[in-house]
Structure 1
Amino acid sequence: MKNSAAVPLGPASAATAPARPLSTARAAILDRLRSKRSPATVEELARETGQHPNTVREHLEALTLEGLATRSAAAARGRGRPAMLYQASEAPEGSAQYAALAAMLAGEIERLAPDPVGAGREAGVRWAQETFGPSAGPVSADDARRRVLAELERLGFGVEDAGGPTVRLVTCPLLSAARAHSGVVCAVHAGLVEEALRLLGRDDIPSRLEPFAEPGACLLTLGDPAPAEGTR
C-alpha cells in the first residue's frame, strides 16, 4: 500500500469545531490561548505571534463570537479602562472526560506495547473497519476524499479544504492527548485514514499526515502533493 503518514493527525482543538474554517493567523491565536494556563492580553498575544495588536484584537473578538474563546476584564489598576483578558473556551464535560481517558490509554500503550506507534495505527485500522464496513467501495477518487474528510469532521476535526490535495486540520478532538502522546494518538488517526481509503477501494491514493505543520494546524495530504513553486 502506498499510504504513508508522518504520524500525528493532530491539533488544534480540544473543544468544538468552528462554524467556519479558521485562517492561519486566527488559528495561531487560538493555539496560543489553548497552550496557556492563564488568560492572556491582546498585547501579550501580539508579541508572541508577531501580529499587530489591532489584528489580534479582531481575531480574538471573532473567536469569542464563535464560542472558541471567552473574554473578561482584568482587575482595575489606576485610571483608565482595565485590560481585557482572553482564554480558550473549556471543552464540554463529556469531551474533557473522553480526552482524559484517551490520554491515559495512550500512556499505557506507550508503556506496555513493544511498538506503540504500530499499536496506535492498528487501532485506527480497526476503527475504520467498524465505521466503513467491508463493502464500502470501490468509489471514485473524489468520493473517497469527500467521505474521508466527512468522517474526520464527524469525529470533531475542523477540516479546512481548499480543494487541493492538502487540507488543513485546524481543530482536533483530542489535542491534549495528542500533545502528550502524539506517537500513539495520532497514529490512530493515520491508520484510520489509510484503512478508510483501502476500504473505499482507493488504496492507490497516498495519504500523509503532518503533525503541527503550521501554527494551529496539521496538514493532511490525500493524493500526490502539488509541486512546490519553482519545480513545475
Structure 2
Amino acid sequence: MSQSPADASAEQARTASRRRVLAAVRASAGGCGVPEIARRTELHPSTVRFHLDRLEHDGLVSRQVRRSGEPGRPPLTYTANPVPDAGREHREFAQLAEVLAQLVKRTSTDPAAAAIAAGRSWGLARTQPPAGATGTTGALEALVAALGEIGFVPEMEATERGVSILQRHCPFLEVAQNHQNVVCSVHLGLMRGILERLDAPVTVERLVPFASPAGCEAHLAAVPGPSSPARGRRGTGIGTIAGSAQ
C-alpha cells in the first residue's frame, strides 16, 4: 500500500526532528539529558524521549543513569555511539547499489528518469526545510555540506562561464562505471531535491559525469518562473556569484 502525501510529510518531519536530536547528542561529548536536548532542539521533552528511544533501538545512542546522590529517580544521560566505519562496509554497500541499479534498468522504460525521481526523493527526505527564504549562496553552502556528508568531496567553482560544483570523489564510483545512466541520474536528482527542499532560487541544470580527471561537474542555473523573496534578494543570484570570480 502506497503512503499518502500527508503520511509521507509527517514521516519526513519526524525524521528531521530525530536528526536534530541525534545531532544535539553528538555535539555533547560528555552526554546530555532530555531537558538539555529539548532546549537545544526546541522540541517538547516528550518528543525528545520518543526519538531517543528510537535512536537507542537503532544503536545510535546509549543511555546511562547519572548518579547524583540526591533523592528521587536519577536522571538519564544520553551519549552518541561511535559512527560505524563506512569504508569497512564498502564492499557490501557496493553490492547492494549494483543490485538496485540493475533492478531500475530492468524494470523501468526510462531508467534515467526513474533514477532522477529516486534521487530527488532522497534529497527531499534528508533536507530540513528552511525557516525563511534561502538565497543562492546559503543554498549552495547547504548543498555542498550535504554532498560532503555523503562522501562526494564537493568543491564549488565560480567562473565567468557560470557556477559549478566539482565532485572530487564518488562514493558509488564502481557501480557508476557499470551503470552510469542510473547512478549519475540518482546523484543529479539528489542535488535537485536538496535545493528544492531549501526553496532555493537555483537548481542543478545538468551533471557531467567524469568531466575531467578531477571528477564530475554539476552545472547550476537559476530557477525559472515567478520571483520569490529569495529569488529577488539582492546579491544572491547565480550571476552575482559567477561575477565575483571574474
- With the shorter chain as reference, the TM-score category is 0.5 to 0.7
CA contact (8 A) 1:159 1:171 kept: yes
CA RMSD of aligned residues (A): 2.5
Structure 1 unaligned spans of 5+:
1-90
Structure 1 distance, partners of 2:210, 2:158, is 20
Q: Structure 1 residue 113 and structure 2 residue 111: aligned?
A: no
Q: 1:207 to 1:157 in 2, by over 3 A?
A: same
Q: Deviations over 1:86-138 (max 9, x none)?
A: xxxxx833122112210111011101111111111111111012111455663
Structure 2 unaligned spans of 5+:
1-85, 222-237
Q: 1:194 to 1:150 in 2, by over 3 A?
A: same
Instruction: Name the structure 2 match of 1:173.
Output: 171
**1:211 Cα deviation from its structure 2 partner:** 0.7
Aligned-pair identity (%): 33
Match of 2:212 among 211, 214, 218: 214
CA contact (8 A) 1:121 1:190 kept: yes
Match of 1:128 among 116, 123, 135: 123
Q: 1:137 to 1:104 in 2, by over 3 A?
A: farther
Specify the structure having the higher radius of gyration (Cα): 2
2:143 aligns to what SS in structure 1?
Answer: helix
Structure 1 distance, partners of 2:213, 2:148, is 20
**1:169 Cα deviation from its structure 2 partner:** 0.9
Structure 2 distance, partners of 1:108, 1:195, is 22
Match of 1:185 among 183, 186, 195: 183
Structure 1 distance, partners of 2:100, 2:187, is 15
**1:206 Cα deviation from its structure 2 partner:** 4.6
Structure 1 distance, partners of 2:100, 2:201, is 29
Q: Give the paired residue count.
A: 138
**Alignment TM-score, normalising by the size of structure 1:** 0.53
